[in-house]
Amino acid sequence: MKNILLLLFLLCAFASCTESDSVAVADQNSSPAHLLVFSKTSGFRHESIPAGIAAIHKLAQEPGVRVTATENAAYFTEDSLSKYKAVVFLSTTQDVLNASQQAAFEKYIRGGGGFAGIHAASDTEYDWPWYNKLVGAYFESHPHIQQASINVLDKSHPSTTHLPDHWERTDEWYNFKNMNPDVKVLAKLDEKTYEGGKNGDNHPIAWYHEFEGGRAFYTALGHTSESYSEPLFLQHIWGGIEYAMGE
């Protein structure tokens, strides 16, 4: 009888150890996703950047995503970037990365990394053709801030599922050049609803695409600080970020 009791005790102990080990493995595998928000500027600096950073931090709380916000381009190394599921360029302007940092970012995307560009991300790195294809277009000009109508064309994407067919809002409306024809357009501006549009009937304002092994999302919205308190806009950018992270 003693031998049987001892055997039962050892079996129970073994089962307990095995369960603890599986919990530890599950905890390790469920480590939170990590997002890098990059807002370095070498040209015009948007006053809305702090509001944008605060909004992304808040949006990341519920899904448990860790956010690192920085203007330090030294984060763009192979080892550092490997920690992040996606990188957000939040109203960056002009030259923000040197040649080695650019090479590290290209390798990151080709390794399956994600990119989300917000507003002036298209006013960035004009001498880097690879970045032009990644972001999808370069900024050319803009009229004064005013209300316009956005025609939402594709609601199958997490950045647009919640949007109305015709989205009326006030922002700074970018005109573009060097547009990548391979992007998948989510929404276009209706130039008949405001003054100063220069892209005609084909005026995309938000898009996404798979690119060289990675994922890229871009929205030209988000110039004003008020944008980052608008529920529809916040869902729009977070849906784009989720896509970039591969969620």
Q: What is the mean pLDDT of the chain?
A: 90
Over residues 165-191, the mean pLDDT reads 98
Over residues 176-187, the mean pLDDT reads 98
Helix (H, G, I), strand (E, B) or coil at 228: helix
In the chain the first and final C-alpha atoms are separated, in Å, by: 56
CATH topology of domain 32-245: Rossmann fold (3.40.50)
Q: Looking at the predicted structure, is the pLDDT value of residue 87 above 60? A: yes
Over residues 216-240, the mean pLDDT reads 98
Q: Looking at the predicted structure, is the pLDDT value of residue 197 above 50? A: yes
Over residues 181-190, the mean pLDDT reads 98
How many CA atoms within 13 Å lie on the side-chain side of 56?
Answer: 29
Instruction: Let me know: does 191 contact 203? Beta carbons within 8 Å.
Output: yes
DSSP states of 26-89: HHHHTPPPEEEEE--BSS---TTHHHHHHHHHHHHHTTT-EEEEE--GGG-SHHHHTT-SEEEE
d(CA 68, CA 98): 21
Q: What angle do CA 159, 181, 170 make, to 5 degrees?
A: 45
Q: Looking at the predicted structure, is the pLDDT value of residue 8 above 80? A: no
d(CA 125, CA 84): 21
> What pLDDT was estimated at residue 247?
83
CA distances, 100 to each of 39, 109, 111 (Å) = 19, 15, 17
Structure-token pair, residue 72: 């330090």
> What pLDDT was estimated at residue 30?
55
Q: Looking at the predicted structure, is the pLDDT value of residue 11 above 50? A: no
Q: Give the domain ranges of the chain.
A: 32-245
d(CA 33, CA 64): 7
Helix (H, G, I), strand (E, B) or coil at 184: strand
- Residue for token pair 């995503």: 65
> What pLDDT was estimated at residue 157?
98
Structure-token pair, residue 75: 């984060």
Task: State what percent of residues in the chain have pLDDT above 70.
Answer: 88
To which H or E segment does residue 129 belong? helix 129-135
d(CA 221, CA 236): 10
**Facing residues of 36 across strands?**
68, 87
Sheet containing strand 204-211, strands side by side: 66-70, 34-38, 86-90, 114-118, 214-219, 204-211, 184-190, 146-152, 166-171
DSSP states of 15-34: HHHHHHHHHHHHHHHTPPPE
Q: Looking at the predicted structure, is the pLDDT value of residue 77 above 80? A: yes
Over residues 34-38, the mean pLDDT reads 98
> What pLDDT was estimated at residue 21?
27
Structure-token pair, residue 206: 């938000």
